[in-house]
Structures are given as C-alpha cells and as structure tokens.
Amino acid sequence: MNSFKNIHFEISERKILLRILDVLFPIIAFFFVAHFFVIDYFVMTLQRPIALLVFSLYLMLFGTVFEMYHLQNASSWLQITRSVVLTTSVTVLFYLLTPFYTPVLPSNRLQILVFFFSVLFSLLLWRYLYIQFLASNRFVKKVLFIGLSSEMEVLVAELNKFNPHYKIMGFIAVDKAPMSCSIPLVAEAELEEFVRKNFISEIVVTHVKNKMTSPDLYNQLLRFLENGVVIRKYSQVYEHSTYRLPIHFDDREFYKFFPFSRSNQNKLYVYFSRILDIVFSLIGLMGFFAISPIIWAVNLFANKGSFFYTQERVGKNGIPFTIYKMRTMVKNAEENGAVFAVLNDSRITPFGKFLRKTRLDELPQFINVLKGDMAIIGPRPERPIFVNQIANVIPLYQTRHVIKPGLTGWAQVNHPYGSSLDDSLMKLRYDLYYIKHRSIFLDIDILVKTMSTVLFFRGQ
C-alpha cells in the first residue's frame, strides 16, 4: 500500500500554481527579450523590483477580474484566450500609466507593442501547457465513497460539476439492499485490493445518519488512514469544492454548521468593515449624483414614470428597513399582488433591463449603506412577504439575517438570479458559507467578482 497517492492538485493548489506561473512566465519573457534584443524598457523593468511587484499585482488583480483563475475557464482554450487577452490589455495599460512605480514611457512606441505581445504570448504559452498537461485526466484524484446507494448518483454528479478531477472509482453501500447505480459497487471483502489496484487516495463517507456497525470495515478504514489515505465526510468535501454549505430543505439544526466565522464578532473586523462601507458608499453616491441627470433624462422617455422607488426589506436580526432603488419595471407592476421577479420578466422595461444588467439601478442603495441598514457585502435583502414564504419551506432561511444584508455578496456573484425555491435554497447555501467563512480576504474576492459581473453585464 505504498502507491496510494497519484499526482493531484487540490483546487486551492491549482489556483496558487496558476497565479505563480502567470507572473513567472512573463518575467522570463522579459529576461529573454532584454538579453537578445537589448530593449531599454525591458531592462529598466527588470532593474526595478518595485516595477516587477506592481506588474505582478496588476496581473493577478485583473486576472481575477477577467476570470483567469476560474478553473472551468482555465480548462477551456476558448475561454482562457479571451481572459488572457483582456487581462494583458488592461494590465499593460495600467502598468504604462503608473510611471511613478514603473519605468517612464519609452520614446520608441514600438517597445510598447513588444512589451504587450511578450506578456500576451508568454501567458498563452503557459496556459496552453496547463490545459495540455495539468488539466488532463492523468491528474485526477481517485476516490472511494461510502454511503447510501440511493444518494450516490446525485452526490457524485453535484461534486463533478465543480471539480471534474475528482474521480469516483467506486462506492461501498451501507444500505441492506443496494440499488443499481452507474458507479461500481465494491464489496467490503474486496475493499483493500480495490484501494490498492486503483490508487485510491481519499475515502469519502456520505452517510452519517446511521453508524457503520461493521467492525471489519472500521478496522480497514483505520489501516487506510495509517497508510496515508485521507478519510473525510462528504459535507467537508462538498464545502471545500463548491464554496457553499450542503444544507437541504428540511434541515433545521443550524448549529451543525458552526463555528461561524469569528469575524462576525471580531470588533476590529466589524469596525474596519463599517469604515469601508462608509468610504465606498460616499464614493458610490458621488458617482451616482454625477450620472443621475443623464439617467433621469433617459428615464423620462424610456420608463415614463417615477425615477426612484422604495420598498420594505428585511435587515439584520429580522428588522425591516426601507430600500432605495431606481425603478426598472412598468408602473403598477404589482397591482395583482407581490410576485417574484423572474428571468426575462415582462414587467421590466427595456431601459430597466439595461439598468439591471449594468447594476446601475442599485446605486441608490449606497444611501442604505451609509445609513447602516445595509453593508457593501452580505446576503441579498428580501421582502418580508417572500422571507416568510421561503422560511416556511426552508427553516434555516432566517439564519442569513444574523448579519446585515449587502449590496453585493457571495450568493450574488456565484449564482444567477432565480425565482424558485430551489434557487432560494442554493443562494442560502452560498450565504451561509459566507457567514461561516467571513473574512477580509473573502470580502476582497467578492468585490473583485462583482467587478467581473459589472464588466460582463451579468446583472439581472
């Protein structure tokens, strides 16, 4: 049992590898160009460590904005080419426009083109190598599941959506009469040989309601653990792979998902977040007041009605507040009662669709942020009538109100707008993940992903 582990990169490890080599390949290209062609701009860049640091920070920041570290995109040549071109263009532009930290613009403009194409081609080369070798099936993690056969297909399919390199080789059924399943069924007596022949590096236990009563299975798992095979619960694997919590409609025991992030009670984090909320809201309101005359003028003809509208929403600890937004629907859109907005809702005006796609309709919410009703980051605030309806079906739904609602959030940047209870459950999984793992680093990640949402017109 010395060959259990095959080559495999975890999701976080792959993202770190991508970031490091995204920076390393262009710098190697700079050395190559500076050595063989003696271009001054490259020589000055290499001689200034601060310039290389600024270049690296720009590259990783805009690479995140343009989704170069989204692993599904990273495995697609078409998607990653688009991301690399956008990232290179904006990175080089910002690098050239900050000469205080970077070399002064060269008098020979041809050097700028050489600089741009050096970054572009080096990134494309590295990403091509990644797709050909590191994203191939030879780098899968081979896994064995233990659980109910009736749940196996759904659990495996859900996991493979987010981590296709997580290959389930077989499973051991804990139910007395296993159902037929496309995943190979492994007998307990054959477990040790199966693990050895298939180089299983991880065993995932999916069924936790009933205890495993087989002493032989328990002893085998203990031996595997001693030999370096990782044994984890499905909930841990799911949370690590999908960045959301594995809750279901009938879950009521919210304490299963504790401990929530200590940042929720960390005074330094709370004060720092509030200061950032105030700063961002003031900047946002200045931007809103600058463009509002133009939007107001267009609204007179395109929407033909009031510019603003207010609505009651549920805030922290379930306390209602009044939210401010730009009107995007026709007048009297709810004359027959409140209903969920849906994708391609006929009540939304053509100009309203533009406001929603660009998320300009949410700019007045900076008033709510400044007042303290909302934060920049948090769960999406919902109307009381919808909260009550959803909470009757999903008991844990009220848990999202332990923190302030936000202008943007983990659910908003990871899940498209939806109007069904399944969508509400999925968004709740992301909201609770945020509450559990809340930190300044996760907040930065959300802000960067929000920039991607705005730039790619993904608002709804």
pLDDT, position 2: 42
Cα dihedral sign, 360-362-368-373: negative
**Dihedral pair phi/psi, residue 31, rounded to 5°:** -60, -40
pLDDT, position 340: 65
CA 246 – CA 83 distance, rounded (Å): 31
In 110-214, beta strands by DSSP E? 141-147, 166-173, 202-205
3-state secondary structure of 345: coil
The residue to which tokens 């609770």 are assigned: 432
CA 231 – CA 228 distance, rounded (Å): 9
Query: Residue 414 belongs to what H/E stretch?
Result: helix 410-414
CB atoms within 10 A of CB 279: 11
pLDDT, position 425: 92
CA 363 – CA 315 distance, rounded (Å): 18
CA 108 – CA 44 distance, rounded (Å): 14
CA 114 – CA 102 distance, rounded (Å): 16
Tell me the residue type at 441.
F
CA 233 – CA 172 distance, rounded (Å): 14
Q: 339-361: string of b/e by CB count within 10 Å (b at 16+)?
A: ebeeeebeebbebbbbbbbbbbb
Mean per-residue pLDDT pooled into runs of 10, the chain (460 residues) = 51 85 96 87 89 95 91 87 95 91 84 94 96 72 89 86 82 84 90 92 77 75 89 89 86 68 78 94 94 90 84 95 90 66 74 87 95 96 92 91 95 83 92 92 91 72
- Nearest Cα residue to 366 out of 269, 444, 278: 278
Query: Residue 352 belongs to what H/E stretch?
Result: helix 350-358
The long-range contacts involving 35-44, CB below 8 angstroms and separated by at least 24 positions, are 37/114, 39/111, 39/114, 40/106, 40/111, 41/103, 41/106, 41/111, 41/112, 41/115, 42/111, 42/114, 42/115, 42/118, 44/103
Structural domains for the chain: 11-134 (no CATH), 140-242 (3.40.50.11060), 262-455 (no CATH)
- Nearest Cα residue to 142 out of 111, 178, 167: 167
Whether residue 259 is preceded by a cis peptide bond, meaning omega within 30 degrees of 0, is yes
Q: What is the Cα Rg of the chain in Å? A: 26
Q: Which tokens go with 121?
A: 């081609």
Q: DSSP class of residue 203? A: E
Q: What is the pLDDT of residues 104-153, one digit of tens each?
A: 888 788 899 999 999 999 999 999 999 888 776 556 788 999 988 888 98
pLDDT, position 1: 43
Cα dihedral sign, 131-134-139-140: negative
The residue to which tokens 């984090």 are assigned: 269
